[in-house]
A and B are shown apart, each in its own frame.
Chain A
Amino acid sequence: GESVGLHLPTLSVQEGDNSIINCAYSNSASDYFIWYKQESGKGPQFIIDIRSNMDKRQGQRVTVLLNKTVKHLSLQIAATQPGDSAVYFCADPGSRDNYGQNFVFGPGTRLSVLP
């Protein structure tokens, strides 16, 4: 069935280092992916998205890489800062039927930035 999952439940990095958060998906028909950041007490916040016709997309300090061959995507955060500490989710549109859709979210990876 369709599922989106994350390889690591927790990740600790030193402030200033780069962070890499991974995500595997199972639906080979998935063509759109989104990364969200959720801070304590807040709703998920959109970070960056990528469509399946791209392998890489860059934002401000973040890069998403998509490997369709192995159905894997990653979020890279450059020069990680304390404010990056949060839970990160990947998501894809799930069972899209051109009528409605339900984005499927992975379980999340908790990123902790160490001083």
Chain B
Amino acid sequence: DSGVTQTPKHLITATGQRVTLRCSPRSGDLSVYWYQQSLDQGLQFLIQYYNGEERAKGNILERFSAQQFPDLHSELNLSSLELGDSALYFCASSAHPDGNSPLHFGNGTRLTVT
């Protein structure tokens, strides 16, 4: 068990809808990352937060947004959903934001857009 908790585990919704994915980092970790993993694709970096502040951004769509709250949990909001947004969304956390410590991943949220 990595200590990173993601909810929900599964989400099925229709095109055009909006969903929120939630992540609680490992105890003591201040940095949170979101990754997208599509079928037969690798892990694509979306965004990183550290202690509530955005630190790095990947190829995250404008329809997607995230935030990290004072209690360090994070939410990823996906809006105007399209079929192509169907994927596994992983949250990871690390002790430091600078790439000198490993990421620890949750078990993901599987999003299906119909």
Contact = CB atoms under 8 A, between A and B. Distances in A.
- Could you tell me the dominant secondary structure of chain A's interface residues? loop
Interface size class of A (residues with CB under 8 A): 20 to 34
Interface size class of B (residues with CB under 8 A): 20 to 34
A99 B105 contact: no
B42 A103 contact: no
B97 A99 contact: yes
B107 A42 contact: yes
Interface stretch (B48-56, B63-71, B77-85): B48-56
B108 interface: yes
Interface string A14-46: 000000000000000000101010000111111
B99 A96 contact: yes
Given A43-B2, A45-B2, A103 B103 contact: yes
B97 A45 contact: no
Given A100-B48, A100-B50, A102-B48, A43 B102 contact: no
A43 B99 contact: no
A104 interface: yes
A66 to B, nearest CB: 16
Contacts of A104: 45
Contact of B97 (A34, A46, A95, A100): A100
Contacts of A44: 43, 90, 92, 103, 105
Contact of B99 (A32, A36, A106, A107): A32
A103 B104 contact: no
A49 B42 contact: no
B58 interface: yes
Nearest to B97: A100
A100 B96 CA distance: 9
Contacts of B98: 96, 98-101
Nearest to B88: A43
B102 A46 contact: yes
Interface of A: 32, 34, 36, 41-46, 49, 89, 91, 93-108
